[in-house]
Amino acid sequence: MTENNPDFSALRRSMVDRQIARRGVRDKRVLEAMVRVPRELFVPKHLADEAYEDHPLPIGYGQTISQPYIVALMAEALALQGRERVLDIGTGSGYAAAVLASMALEVFSIERIPELVHQARANLDCAGFSQVYLRCGDGTLGWPEAAPFDGICVAAGAPSIPEALKQQLAVGGRLVIPIGEEYSGQQLTCIRRVSETEFSREDYGSVRFVPLLGEEGWQ
Ligand code: SAH
């Protein structure tokens, strides 16, 4: 198995050290999850050698697997302890879902492009994450039957915070989402549900994600 491939596991450790820990991600659970998940199984085969590089990579259908550091930053913002139910929007390759599944109890993930759902299912099964639930659909509407969620991670940029996602957060839960008026440049934003009716907001800096397309996203 690739997990035992010395080259990939050395590259993975070096990625976590240089790109993630040194840039200030301190959460041990995040660092351990990223040492554990074999990212080379989530990129197209011909790009496996680039799996641990410090940038996003194309995964087909005009979409990308996010830069490792951004996945770490979002996972850290969710402050997971291991008992949470998490919703991941924009499954893409399935990589972020696998990282979150290493840190939480249950992960539900939604992707709008059917071919990517199939690809992500295969990637997740191959990497040993068959327990992640996948659905093809519009993630801006959330996954009402599985709500509430302790964490929601959105891997595509939205014009504003989708109301359905706020409402599917448990009290105390966090929603991490890139928000921006611009189609391609956004602010990574963490919303925390403080009570039934109150939400707090924290800014995590500028990011660049593909657009979140859907009813409560870009049209
Ligand atoms: N987390 C992914 C990165 C995916 S990029 C990974 O680890 O590989 C963002 C993804 O969001 C794309 O695959 C895109 O198709 C998807 N997407 C965009 N709008 C969406 C929506 N409304 N619902 C679900 N997925 C959406």
Domain that holds residue 92: 8-207
Q: Which two tokens stand for residue 178?
A: 């890139």
Residues taking part in catalysis? 66
143 within a domain of the structure (yes/no): yes
**Burial class, 188, CB count within 10 angstroms (exposed 0-12 / middle 13-18 / buried 19+):** buried
Number of structural domains (the chain) is 1
Q: Cα–Cα distance between 91 and 99 in angstroms, integer?
A: 12
Establish whether the linkage from the previous residue to 211 is cis, with ω within 30° of 0: no
Q: Which residue of 176, 184, 212, 219 sits with most ligand 1 atoms within 8 Å of its CB, as the best mutation to test the pocket?
A: 212
pLDDT of residue 181: 81
Question: pLDDT tens digits, residue range 64-91?
Answer: 999 999 999 999 999 999 999 999 999 9
- Name the residue at shortest CA distance from atom 18 of ligand 1: 212
71 within a domain of the structure (yes/no): yes
- Name the residue at shortest CA distance from atom 13 of ligand 1: 92
* % of the chain residues with pLDDT over 90: 95
Residue 6: pLDDT band (50, 70, 90) is low
Q: Which residue of 39, 65, 138, 210 sits with most ligand 1 atoms within 8 Å of its CB, as the best mutation to test the pocket?
A: 210
List CB contacts of 138: < 8 A, sequence separation 6 or more: 110, 112, 214, 215
Question: pLDDT tens digits, residue range 125-177?
Answer: 999 999 999 999 999 999 999 999 999 999 999 999 999 999 999 999 999 99
Q: What is the CATH number of the domain that holds 34?
A: 3.40.50.150
> Is residue 5's pLDDT more than 90?
no
**In a 3-state reduction of DSSP, which class is residue 154?**
strand
pLDDT of residue 184: 73
